[in-house]
Amino acid sequence: MVSPSATSPRFFNLDEHAYAAAETRCRTLLARMTLAEKIGQMSQFTSDRDTTGPSIREGYQEDIRAGRVGSIFNAFDAGFTRELQTLAVNESRLGIPLLFGYDVVHGFRTIFPIPLAMASSWHLDNVEAAAHIAAREAAAAGIHWAFAPMVDVSRDARWGRVMEGAGEDPLLSSRMASAQVRGYQGSDPRALDSVAACVKHYVGYGAVEAGRDYNSVDLSERVMRSVHLPSHQAAINAGVASVMTSFNTVDGVPASCNPLLLRQILRDEWHFQGPVVTDYTAIMELIEHGVAADPRDAARQAVNAGVDMDMQDGYFLDHLAELVEADEVSAARIDEATLRILILKDVLGLFEAPYRYCDEAREAATLLAPEHRRKAREIAQQSMVLLENNGLLPLSPAPKRLAVIGELADSQADLLGPWHGNGQVQDACTILQALQNRLSDAEVSYHAGVPIHIHDTEPHTNEIAEAATLAQQADVAVVVVGEKEPMSGEAGSRTDLGLPGQQLALALAVIASGTPTVVVTLSGRPLVLTELAQQPAALLHGWWPGSEGAEALVDLLLGEASPCARLPMSFPRNVGQLPLYYGQLPTGRPVFRENPDPRYSSKYIDSPNTPLYPFGYGLSYTHIDYAQPQLDKTTLAGADDQITLAIELTNTGERDGVEVVQLYLRDPVASISRPVRELIDFQRVEIAAGACQRITFVITAEQLGFIGSDLCWRCEPGQFELHIGAHVEDTQALTFHYEP
């Protein structure tokens, strides 16, 4: 891991003079505001344009006129946002413009693959490009503020919200976070193709117990700082404009009233300057958590802990004034929170031009622009992971008779996935349609197979038999199975990660027909695919690939593009292994030591410890050979020294390929037990067929460090191991010493 930064981050990457000028302007406005108007700026409500939570406040338009609200979310379209902005600018006393927010998680109108899928590409430039296109479209539709990126590290695929993040690894998650912030915010906060980003959920939400959404989190502070905070800090160091609190408790204290998180770490240690907003009704939920007696108490605890804006429940609006009058909340604290919100509005240029994001002509020209769709297709190609290939893929020559089977093959909605912004079902074609369009000279037949319901126990014997018969009559069968959109995402936790309903029986019957079969899986999380992995079939995991996902999938099937994705999250053999991740501690009885005890070691008696498909794994249509890696020296002498690792890669196949070269570290002896592997760097390398390429990694003392039991950062001397290869279980090892 990389040491915590000693430098102060810059809000929206502004220089000190620009920030100071904005602060001066906003302090002048702050001096004119009443207490009620300040509290109004600290209150956010949803419009009725979209619903992302359980309630809508009645009469929010009157709140706008009265200056009782500073931000509206779930309001978009240039015309609609202009209407609401007019209420604030023309009818409230001070004319302070509204800030419009929205969950722009993986696209606004052009929908990209879910973030977990984009993490599978390990292509940070394209991750940044996707966020920038999302920002460009959102800004054109009147939005100023994207509630993204979601950077929660998660190691439990039962949790439905794994689809919003980058998986199990802190380094990959941190680099994804930085790339997304750069994409959303750009280099100029007043540019009309950028929006303010909001990193979420701060913090530990990915570690909810039993993978159950909204559940509690029990983390040691050292694990929280080592695993869960780095991606948040990476976003802040990239200049993210705002932070959203998480729903969960951390060590018994909900994140939305947690002074350790909101004061000590975020402000005192990281020097973050932007506003903190809660998640949907999180202050209200302090009562259900059992730490607040009533709404007044909940508002007091949240604001004093460091929350600047209350999302949706209205507790700040209802109770902060009386809390200030009773000296339970200081007037200075209200000023501090309000000033942060005003500065954000100023930096975005809203005081000078409150309608600058409300341009209907720009909106019409920007949404679903052809170049946006082309990039979405490219990124979808790079995000699908080839798990198994028995030589069937690519389908070349293209089959003359193709059987397409599965309800998901003819679904548009289930390509987009949850949190698809303003993405429209009609913008996507189905996998069936894409195959029919591309194989216009072939006979493409279709059977829906079985219905997809989690609790479906009906055998569907006739439907399965019909599908198998259809497959027998074809040259190739493509079976599309997996999760429907509501089966993952927020409130989509599951205890059974197999294919819902009778889809496994359907796929096995088609394979058993004897027709060469490609199984395509769609989902928002890793699935248990153990039985399918044992079958003589190709297996391609498509995640939820977005607006252009069907076309991208067909590109891969026909060999017009090559799979190059690698897993950002381990796929379990069965759900009993969860939580599952590669960076575990060795334990006192590790299974990987020489001659492990056949029983009394840290393992299961009914399953291997290892995942079905490990972190970093993925196949391609070519083969990359790794030569023996070399170090330029074997001793790292001090904090300013460095070692260079070099390795040659050769593409021995007949197709151009992409290799994601992964570099892991092991610290065998330290003052605390260290992970058996830790990703410290990676490179995504394009190699032409038959070509050889030499790549290098630079290793520094900083990459050897860790947070000790005293919560201090340290780099200890000793012997270290480097492991380099194609995935975490396929590496070559080298050793060196650190002697400071």
Residue 665 in 3-state DSSP?
strand
| Paired strand residues for 642 | 700
Strand partners, 406: none
- Name the amino acid, one letter, at 196: A
Tokens encoding 543: 């995640």
DSSP string for residues in 364-406 = HHHTT-HHHHHHHHHHHHHH-EEEE-SS--S--SPPSEEEEES
Tokens of 361: 């002509």
Residue type, 223: V
3-class state of residue 450 by DSSP? coil
CA dihedral 45, 48, 50, 52 (to 10 degrees): 50
Inter-CA distances, 711 with 8, 203, 224, 575, 586, Å: 20, 17, 10, 33, 21
Exposure string over 50-71, b if 16+ CB within 10 A, otherwise e: eeeeeeebeebbebbebbbbbb
Is residue 479 classed exposed, middle or buried when 0-12, 13-18 and 19+ CB atoms within 10 A define those classes?
buried
- Report which of 317, 320, 311 is spatially closest to residue 275, judged by C-alpha positions: 311
In which order are the strands placed within the sheet that holds 718-727? 635-636, 730-738, 718-727, 657-666, 678-687
Give the whole-angstrom CA distance, residue 361 versus residue 365: 6
Sign of CA dihedral 573, 577, 579, 584: negative
Q: Which of 63, 169, 279, 681 is catalytic?
A: 279
- Rounded to whole angstroms, the maximal C-alpha distance in the chain is 79
Distance of CA 290 to the CA centre of its chain: 30
SS3 content of the chain, % helix, strand, coil (to 5): 35, 20, 45
Q: How far separated are the first and last CA of the chain, in Å rounded?
A: 18
Q: How far apart are CA 358 and CA 362, in angstroms?
A: 9
Contacts of 457 (CB under 8 A, 6+ apart): none
Known catalytic residue: 346?
no
Give the residue numbers marked as catalytic. 279
